[in-house]
Copies of this chain bind each other. A is one copy, B any other.
């Protein structure tokens, strides 16, 4: 199933690798990533994946690639990598020497760190510094978009982690969707973004707000969703409170602005 370092998902016999619980969990993760449009939501997904894989730390980044496919700039979404490490990483441009990153943007394959370290003869100083902060073993995987302008990288690590097929299968299955989600919410926000991420609309609320956006009245939405008109109004009220607005039209504008719903 591994062939020239390449990984064929389509023909793999994952029945023996993944438990039913794994499979169900992956389906849900993938499904949720379809509707993930905010960093806060993305972090929740990343955390779920980290826990599913029994890792200690997780970090991700979207990468702007130049014409040669090299890193032009990158933007971190750090779940819980040690802050001091990440600061040093950015400060000292570790991305230029980190063999994991280099391997990622050239091969875009699932990496077990120790394999890559051996393969690239990684600088011992760098590797040891990472190990000192708890990043001893880990996996990394990322993709790039079809145009080759943007890439992503997802790293999971911990003090102790053995290489296992299950982890590789799960990453192969789910990272492409997290990749899409990360690209999706980082693209429009490249300029402004950030700061007030306190609000989090529930999926039901977003669903209702979307119908409001399409000009549906409360009664119409109640028919569409098979709930009472009262419940629709209840949700709308909550939405307005969460977004700190006083009218539906304002809620639509704010939600679009903040990325809770798409136009």
Chain A interface residues (CB < 8 Å from chain B): 4-6, 9-10, 14-15, 18-21, 23-24, 26-28, 30-32, 34, 69, 106-107, 146-148, 172-173, 176, 203, 212-217, 224-227, 245-253, 256-257, 262-263
Contacts and interface: CB of A to CB of B under 8 A. Distances in A.
Given A10-B28, A31-B10, A225-B6, A217 B247 contact: yes
Contacts of A20: 15, 19-20, 23
A226 B6 contact: yes
Given A6-B226, A27-B27, A248-B248, 16 more contacts: A9-B31, A10-B28, A14-B27, A18-B27, A23-B24, A23-B27, A27-B30, A27-B173, A30-B30, A146-B263, A212-B249, A214-B253, A215-B245, A215-B250, A253-B256, A253-B263
B249 A215 contact: yes
A10, A15, A69, A148: most-surrounded residue (chain B CB, <10 A): A10
A13 to B, nearest CB: 9
A188 to B, nearest CB: 11
A258 B254 CA distance: 16
Number of this chain's copies in the complex: 2
A interface, over-half SS: helix
Contact of A226 (B4, B21, B106, B225): B4
A10, A214, A217: most-surrounded residue (chain B CB, <10 A): A214
Contacts of A30: 27, 30, 173
A16 B85 CA distance: 44
Given A215-B245, A217-B247, A14 B10 contact: no
Contacts of A147: 262-263
Contacts of A6: 225-227
Top 10 nearest A-B pairs (CB, nearest first) are: A215-B250, A23-B23, A146-B262, A20-B20, A215-B247, A5-B226, A249-B249, A248-B249, A257-B263, A213-B253
A173 B10 CA distance: 18
